[in-house]
Amino acid sequence: MDALRAAHFESLFIQDPDPWRYRTRWYERRKRAQLLASLPSERYERAFEPACANGELSAALAERCDRLSCSDGSAAAVAHARQRLADLPHVDVTQARLPTDWPAGGFDLIVLSEIGYYLDDDALGDTIDRAAASLDEGGTLIASHWRHPEGDYTRSGDEVHLRLANALQTQRGWTRLVRHEEADFLVEVWSPDGRSVARREGLRP
């Protein structure tokens, strides 16, 4: 993410701890519930959520994860997220920028929410590559993006998901387990493990 855009986000979070009203808007709460319902596993051992903003989605993810690593490029956002998640010792929040500050180790859940359209072509490609390389064999990669144009976007949310599908499904042979499409947002789930939830639980061969 370029310095100008990073400064813009820093300013937003300094002025307002919840600039997009993640905590209060029904749209945001409903979208968050849709994302959580789309996860094919009930629990995850180690998850990563870059661009965590003020930690509102992180708090919900933490209920499904043994360990959750969150990051954001904005120091102010990180401070808000740490305050929001202070009573959850299995969650850590760091200041880091995509794609260069990707954490070491493997994850069985990676969440790319409302971030892809802020990255330039190289940064988005590198982010997808790093996510694919660090996802465990049976893991879940979930993405969610707004579908309408905004003044500071590099690309649309639809284009982000096309890039993800090309990199993960076409090039790597992963399975898209879920596609939830509405006029306002997309939620998609990819995994190297193509089994449905019923198959994973032994309900069908």
Cα–Cα dist 117/53, whole Å: 15
What span, in angstroms and rounded, lies between the C-alpha atoms of 93 and 49? 9
- Which residues touch 69 (CB under 8 Å, ≥6 apart)? 46, 47, 48, 49, 91, 92, 94, 103, 107
Number of neighbouring beta carbons within 10 Å of residue 6:
15
- Domains annotated on the chain, with CATH: 3-200 (3.40.50.150)
HEC assignment per residue over 46-69:
EEEECCCCCCHHHHHHHCCEEEEE
The answer on pLDDT for 10 being more than 80 is yes
Q: What digits encode the pLDDT tens for the residues 91-138?
A: 999 999 999 999 999 999 999 999 999 999 999 999 999 999 999 999
* 42-82 pLDDT per residue, tens: 999 999 999 999 999 999 999 999 999 999 999 999 999 99
Q: Which residue has the tokens 């399975």?
A: 175
% of the chain exceeding 90 in pLDDT: 91
Residue range 129-179, pLDDT digits in tens? 999 999 999 999 999 999 998 878 899 999 999 999 999 999 999 999 999
- Please tell me whether residue 189 adopts helix, strand or coil conformation: strand
- The first and second tokens of residue 89, run together, are 């010792």
Tell me, what amino acid is at 203?
A: L
Q: Say how many C-beta atoms besides its own lie within 10 A of residue 170's C-beta.
A: 9
Task: Answer yes or no: are the C-beta atoms of 52 and 46 closer than 8 Å.
Answer: no
| Prediction pTM value | 0.95
Q: Do residues 80 and 55 make contact, with C-beta atoms less than 8 angstroms apart?
A: yes
- Give buried/exposed letters for 57-92 (b at 16+ CB in 10 A, else e): bbbebbeebeebbbbbbbebbbbbbbebbeebeebe
